[in-house]
Structure 1
Amino acid sequence: MEIVKALGLFVVTALAEIIGCYLPYLWLKKNASVWLLIPAAVSLALFVWLLSLHPTASGRVYAAYGGVYVATALLWLWKVDRVPLGTTDVIGASVALCGMAIIVWGGWRG
Structure 2
Amino acid sequence: MPTLAVYGAAALAEIGGCFAFWAWARAGRATWWLVPGVASLCLFAWLLTLSEADHAGRGYAAYGGIYIGAALAWLWAVEGVRPDRWDMIGLGLCLVGAAVILWGPRG
* TM-score, normalising length: structure 2: 0.92
Q: Does 1:18 align with 2:15?
A: yes
Task: Name the counterpart of 1:96.
Answer: 94
Task: Name the counterpart of 2:76.
Answer: 78
- Name the amino acid aligned to 1:82: G
Segments of 5+ residues of structure 2 without an aligned counterpart are none
- Name the amino acid aligned to 2:25: L
**Deviation digits for residues 4-62 of structure 1, max 9, x if unmatched?**
x1111101001100011000111112221110100001000001101111232101101
Segments of 5+ residues of structure 1 without an aligned counterpart are none
- Name the amino acid aligned to 2:65: G
- Name the amino acid aligned to 1:25: W
Aligned length: 106
Q: CA deviation at 1:103?
A: 1.2
Q: CA deviation at 1:101?
A: 0.9
Runs of 4+ in 1 over 3 A off after TM superposition: none
**Contact 2:7–2:51, Cα closer than 8 Å, also in 1:** no
> Match for 1:45 among 42, 46, 51?
42
Aligned alpha-carbon RMSD (Å): 1.7
- Name the amino acid aligned to 1:87: R
> Match for 2:24 among 16, 24, 27?
27
- Name the amino acid aligned to 2:13: A
Task: Name the counterpart of 2:62.
Answer: 64
Could you say what secondary structure the match of 1:54 adopts?
coil
